[in-house]
Amino acid sequence: MIIELNDELQQEEQLLAYMKQAGELCLKNEGLDFDDESTEVSLSFVTPEEIRQINRDYREKDAVTDVLSFPQYNSREEILQEPYVCLGDVIICPGRAREQAEEYGHSYTREMVYLMVHSMLHLLGYDHMEEEEKAVMRAREEAVMNEMGILR
């Protein structure tokens, strides 16, 4: 899997390696074992002000959020039809992630990896609007986090 990064991110290599591993595990766990060169996710880190504006512009919610996901496909079937897949865009607010890590009592790394897993599942078609959907998505998230050894 290829992840395109903006320049500011390249300094946090270990965190990025964990995030890439998390994305690859999401794909593997969904039976989408693409090779490293055939799958792409655009990953951007933004300030609280930037994510608030994006959230307002695209979701009509005028609030800072931790992560936004913009999938390129509507279904798993569409993904499987392509030889090269750009799954979509993931936009993370590290400032909000740091706040949440403190609030939840775990590391910044854990929070960032969790946000990547959460976003990847959105790009793969999962949602959490209904309780039943939420339970399925949470189970998938926990499976990846546990497999990586990143526990609460």
Distance CA 88, CA 23 (A): 12
Distance CA 11, CA 127 (A): 31
Give pLDDT tens digits for 77-87.
888 888 888 99
How far apart are the C-alpha atoms of 93 and 100, rounded to whole Å?
11
Domain boundaries, the chain: 2-147
Using an 8 Å Cβ cutoff, are 97 and 117 in contact?
no
Whether the Cβ atoms of residue 28 and residue 21 lie closer than 8 Å to each other: no
Superfamily of segment(s) 2-147? Metalloproteases ("zincins"), catalytic domain (3.40.390.30)
Please write the tens of the pLDDT for every residue from 87-140: 999 999 999 999 999 999 999 999 999 999 999 999 999 988 888 999 999 999
Q: What is the pLDDT of residues 105-119, one digit of tens each?
A: 999 999 999 999 999
Asked if residue 22 lies in contact with residue 143, where contact means CB atoms within 8 angstroms, the answer is: no
